């Protein structure tokens, strides 16, 4: 079998760059508009570091050193002067905390767009299923039977709406700043640990559950749907759940 030759992936170039466009500072291949000037990655990074770290340079010549692709590292003072002369703006250089915040914002926006795409696909699939369910409900009504599907769907919709409302309002009872700064693995563990604790507290309100070993009780209760159901209950300042009203018959259909 013939081996496929792997070629290095071409770097992303913005549409506003023309083919072969050069850095206005050193003449290397430009990668985009950086700090208001078309530059290469090297000059972009040099300019950023110079102002982030408040670096001080001194020219050993007469401040007329040639700055090109091969000579740009020879005199940092002349390179910085040329960056400024070509229009690079120091006020656009972000400090470390601003860079982290910007990166975080970009990541949140990326995740939001990804979530919106998933939601759109789910809504489309749900519309198809809903149409089939409505037809089944009509058949049940025509035969004088109670539509179990309609009752359950109504219950699930209410649970989903209430759960999303609680998550959006950040009422999970955790320190939001610390939670957001934690690694993804820690966030997952903290979230599920918190919801598990709330579910156990919910289960302990029933004498039969409180008498069981939690290792046995959790699987018997059906821990995943129970976590979702308990998690959507809003909490008071003291940590106790506020009560919502749900269709008891639908709850039995889901959990039993």
DSSP assignment string, 191-223: HHHHHHHHHHHHHTTSHHHHTS-HHHHHHHHTH
- The residue with tokens 């002369």 is 85
Burial of 43 (0-12, 13-18, 19+ CB in 10 A): buried
Domains of the chain: 32-92 (3.30.50.10), 147-256 (no CATH)
Which two three-digit tokens encode residue 255? 């959990």
Rounded to whole angstroms, how far apart are CA atoms 146 and 137?
8
Asked whether the predicted pLDDT for residue 6 surpasses 70, the reply is no
Q: Out of 37-41, 107-111, 119-123, which region has the weakest mean confidence (pLDDT)? A: 119-123
pLDDT, position 255:
41
pTM of the model: 0.42
Q: Out of 83-87, 98-102, 129-133, 176-180, which region has the weakest mean confidence (pLDDT)? A: 176-180
């Amino acid at each position: 079998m013939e081996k496929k030759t792997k070629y290095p992936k071409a770097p992303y170039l913005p549409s506003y760059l023309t083919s072969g466009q050069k850095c206005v500072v050193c003449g290397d291949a430009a990668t985009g508009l950086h700090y208001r000037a078309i530059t290469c990655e090297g000059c972009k990074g040099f300019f950023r570091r110079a102002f982030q770290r408040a670096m001080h340079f001194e020219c050993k010549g007469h401040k007329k050193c040639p700055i090109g692709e091969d000579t740009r590292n020879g005199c940092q003072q002349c390179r910085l002067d040329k960056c400024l002369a070509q229009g690079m703006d120091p006020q656009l250089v972000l400090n470390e905390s601003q860079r982290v915040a910007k990166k975080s914002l970009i990541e949140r926006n990326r995740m939001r767009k990804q979530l919106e795409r998933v939601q759109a696909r789910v809504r489309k699939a749900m519309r198809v299923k809903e149409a089939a369910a409505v037809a089944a409900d009509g058949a049940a009504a025509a035969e004088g039977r109670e539509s179990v599907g309609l009752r359950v769907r109504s219950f699930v919709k209410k649970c989903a709406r209430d759960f999303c409302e609680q998550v959006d309002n950040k009422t999970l009872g955790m320190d939001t700043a610390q939670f957001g700064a934690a690694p993804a693995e820690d966030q997952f563990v903290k979230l599920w640990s918190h919801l598990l604790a709330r579910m156990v507290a919910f289960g302990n309100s029933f004498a039969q559950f409180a008498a069981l070993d939690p290792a046995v009780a959790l699987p018997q209760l059906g821990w995943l749907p129970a976590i979702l159901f308990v998690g959507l209950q809003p909490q008071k300042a003291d940590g106790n759940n506020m009560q919502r009203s749900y269709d008891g018959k639908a709850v039995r259909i889901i959990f039993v």
